[in-house]
Structure 1
Amino acid sequence: MPDFDQALTNQPRQLGALPGKLLTRLALVKSELAAIEFRKELSLNPFFADRDLIRI
């Protein structure tokens, strides 16, 4: 997670780090935190390919 955080600090709209962080949190069963990342991703990219992975 620190790598994702660093990438997002350097470039907050980095479209690779946001979904990566989301999918990592889902894999680690951190669904509450993943939902937060998911909302951020959808606000920047409403066509996010994996948007059906989590319910908001």
Structure 2
Amino acid sequence: MERNTYICTLFYAEQENEESLYPNIGTPYKSSSFEFQEIYWRSILVFFSTSYRYSNYSATS
């Protein structure tokens, strides 16, 4: 039986008027702003790139 490998994450983009506080990002950004969400999109890109590079799947494909 072939084993499947899944690399997954979740990103929830908050809308205006439903923002949360994220002190690790800093105060100038609202969590609904493009600039704020762009920080997390970059983190997701690094997450998937690193996961793929170091997974067994990338060595066999």
Q: Same fold (TM over 0.5)?
A: no
Quick one: higher RCO (CA 8 Å, sep 6+), 1 or 2? 2
Q: TM-score, normalized by length of structure 2? A: 0.28
Q: TM-score, normalized by length of structure 1? A: 0.30
Higher normalized helix content (fraction of residues): 1
